[in-house]
Amino acid sequence: MTEPNNGHSTYADWTTQVLEESLANFRRMVRLPFFWQRAQRVRKGAMASEVVYEEGKHRLLHYTGGDGARFRTPLLFVFALVNRPYILDLKPGKSVVEHFVRRGFDTYLVDWGVPTDADKFLTLDDYVNGSMLNIIDFLRERCDVPQVNVLGYCMGGTMSAIFTALHQQFVRNLILLAAGIDFSDDDSLLLKWTKPQYFDVDALVDVCGNVPAQYLQSIFLLLKPIQNLFEKPIALWERMDDDQFVDDFLTMETWLQDNIPVPGEVFREFVKYLYQQNRLVKGQLPVGRHTVQLRNITCPVLNVMARKDDLVPCSQTLPFNDLVSSTDRKTMQLDAGHIGLAVGSKAQTELWPAAVDWLAQRSEAASADSASGPASSASID
Amino acid sequence: MSNGDFDQMKQFGQLWLEMLSRSGSLFGQMKPGEPPPEAARQFRGAVFKSMADQADQFMRSETFLQAMKQSLDAALNFQKQYQTMLTEFRHSTEGVASTDIDAAMTLLRQMESRVLDRLENLDTQLQGIAERLDRLETDAETSGTKP
């Protein structure tokens, strides 16, 4: 038998709730000074790594945390030029790299470094046909393999697709993660903002050289202003006494605020050729002396995207599989945002185990004598 | 009153109307036993949702796009004037300005691309010669004579 809900008990419940909320607010207030201390101590990266190759500011990291390579072909992560790459290895339990390393993939990550004014003339050609090609040449020699597996995230995904189209012979399997390919969809906010009549990319690059990190940061913030400026701080305040939440929040925010400038010429090419002219899908994207034809891609392709991605919506990534000549191609969609694709809990429990399986099924097992992995390193300045 | 002003007022009114209608429907669903903090949270969620939708709509509007263009153009113009002033000052004191370094860098990159193009041509030529030599050797082996 349930008690009748009279006015007295309702009033008592309300009073208790208000009191509890006031006490919770007090507890949060007490924790506030320690919050700043914790923010200073945020640890970046989960897996142990070593630098095995350097070319100017670009470094190649090798993850050493696994029990030795169980697959012969190494896996190379290529990240965007906009942020730091440690989002792919954020913290234990939220690391894409960890999934592959634990499964036995010899895993590497390209860290593009922070460009200075001297790098403002670097073009897509320098990155794709220069550094990426050199890194993959180095990996092929180091691991004594003809091909490598490539996983590109965001802008790094677009660069990986361009690289594979130009140098298919060196790529065994290609995984794209929220990679912008087709920019014909008019509904994206970024596409609207970068329309030639509203955004003069030439003027920006000519005056600024490299595109400042603060400018890019403010653009990303503006994509969801209410969520970023109001809802996020309130959510933090309400869960200030939840240690796990605060820890995740600080790690994430540290990465989000850790923007780096983008080399001016690459930015110009990206905005002009991709966002404004959509040349990649038309087979008209010039990269150095070459023109990129996505139909040259014949290797197995896994195209991963997030349904709630406001930065690279599915409409920009989905058409990729229809533009390549590969017969083995798969699409995976996750109910997450752009960053959630890498660090979200659903991505960790559902997406990445499936993606690792996909790659494992298409990889050759390493022979017993090479399982301990290679040890050489090199550097070009 | 111009059409632009009217549109802005209309949008502003729409924002408030939407917020009020969402809050109204929320209050309608609320149970008397529900505690105030939870009710306040729901109300706040509804307000933020309305604001987010309106902000998204506004950021796609011609007004916002034009304002964004104008503010970026103004900032770039200011930066350009400042750079010109600094360049003139450095040149007048026989110093090196960033534009001089840029010009040297451009020159270097042009030279680099010319050298690379030439190397690529040489590479193609060498590959052609190697292929011809291989063919000659194969022909000689099959016909039993030394090249």
pLDDT of res. B2: 58
Whether pLDDT at A273 is above 90 = yes
The gap from C-alpha A185 to its chain's centroid, in whole angstroms, comes to 22
Q: Is the ipTM of this complex over 0.85?
A: no
Touching check for A34 and chain B: CB below 8 Å? no
DSSP B60: T
pLDDT of res. A251: 87
pLDDT digits (tens, 9 = 90+) for A142-174: 999 999 999 999 999 999 999 999 999 999 999
Q: Is A154 a catalytic residue?
A: yes
Can you read off the two tokens belonging to residue A200?
Answer: 């003069």
pLDDT of res. B8: 67
pLDDT of res. A299: 97
pLDDT of res. B72: 94
* pLDDT classification of A375: cutoffs 50, 70, 90: very low
Can you read off the two tokens belonging to residue B54?
Answer: 């309106």
Residues in chain B, pLDDT under 50:
none
* pLDDT classification of A371: cutoffs 50, 70, 90: very low
* DSSP-derived pairing of the beta strands A58-63 and A171-177: unpaired
Pick from A90-94, A135-139, A216-220, B139-143 the range whose average pLDDT is largest: A135-139
State mean pLDDT over A163-187.
94
Whether pLDDT at A45 is above 90 = no
Whether pLDDT at A381 is above 60 = no
Mutate to test the interface with A, among B18, B38, B48 (most CBs of A within 10 A): B48
pLDDT of res. B37: 66
Contacts of A203 in chain B (CB under 8 A): 73, 76
Of the candidates A5, A21, A192, which has its C-beta nearest B65's C-beta? A192
Higher pLDDT, A113 or B38: A113
pLDDT digits (tens, 9 = 90+) for A355-367: 999 999 999 887 7
Of the candidates B32, B38, B101, which has its C-beta nearest A10's C-beta? B32
Of the candidates A13, A198, A225, which has its C-beta nearest B35's C-beta? A13
pLDDT of res. A256: 87
Cβ neighbours around A56 below 10 Å, total = 17
* pLDDT classification of A30: cutoffs 50, 70, 90: confident
pLDDT of res. A247: 86
Report the 3 state secondary structure along chain A: CCCCCCHHHHHHHHHHHHHHHHHHHHHHHHHHHHHHHHHHCCCCCCCCEEEEEEECCEEEEEECCCCCCCECCCEEEECCCCECHHHHECCCCCEHHHHHHHHCCCEEEEECCCCCHHHCCCCHHHHHHHHHHHHHHHHHHHHCCCCEEEEEECHHHHHHHHHHHHCHHHEEEEEEECCCCCCCCCCCHHHHHCCCCCCCHHHHHHHHCCECHHHHHHHHHHHCHHHHHHHHHHHHHHCCCCHHHHHHHHHHHHHHCCECCECHHHHHHHHHHHHHCCHHHHCCEEECCEEECHHHCCCCEEEEEECCCCCCCHHHHCCHHHHCCCCCEEEEEECCCCCHHHHCHHHHHHHHHHHHHHHHHCCCECCHHHCCCCCCCEEEC
Whether pLDDT at A373 is above 60 = no
CB A32 within 8 A of CB A240: yes
> From CA A250, how far away is CA A180, in angstroms rounded?
28
Contacts of A192 in chain B (CB under 8 A): 60, 65
CB A348 within 8 A of CB A93: yes
pLDDT of res. A70: 85
Cβ neighbours around A169 below 10 Å, total = 9
pLDDT digits (tens, 9 = 90+) for A230-259: 999 998 888 888 888 888 888 888 888 888
The gap from C-alpha A333 to its chain's centroid, in whole angstroms, comes to 15
Whether pLDDT at A139 is above 50 = yes
State mean pLDDT over A332-353.
91
* pLDDT classification of A376: cutoffs 50, 70, 90: very low
Per DSSP, what are the bridge partners of residue A61?
Answer: A51, A109
Q: Is A258 a catalytic residue?
A: no
pLDDT of res. B129: 96
> From CA A11, how far away is CA B16, in angstroms rounded?
31
> From CA B103, how far away is CA B110, in angstroms rounded?
11
- Using a pLDDT cut of 90, give the percent of chain A over it: 63
Q: Is A208 a catalytic residue?
A: no
